[in-house]
Amino acid sequence: ERSISPLKPADDAIVIDTTHLNEVEVMAQVMDLVQKALSAP
C-alpha cells in the first residue's frame, strides 16, 4: 500500500466488481447505471 497519494476511488464513485464478469456483463452493468442516472430527476 502506498503511503503517499494512494490510489482510491472518489467518495462518490460507483464501483463495479468485475472479478467474475466478462466484457459484455461489465458493459451491461455500466449501461444500466447510465440509463438510471439519465432518468433520475
Q: Residue 38 pLDDT > 90, yes or no?
A: yes
Identify whether the C-beta of residue 30 lies closer than 8 Å to the C-beta of residue 16. yes
Indicate the pLDDT class of residue 8, thresholds 50, 70 and 90: confident
| C-alpha closest to that of 18 among 30, 36, 1 | 30
Beta strands in the chain (DSSP E): none
Amino acid (1-letter code) at residue 33: L
1 confidence band (pLDDT: 50, 70, 90): low
| CA 25/CA 13 separation, integer angstroms | 19
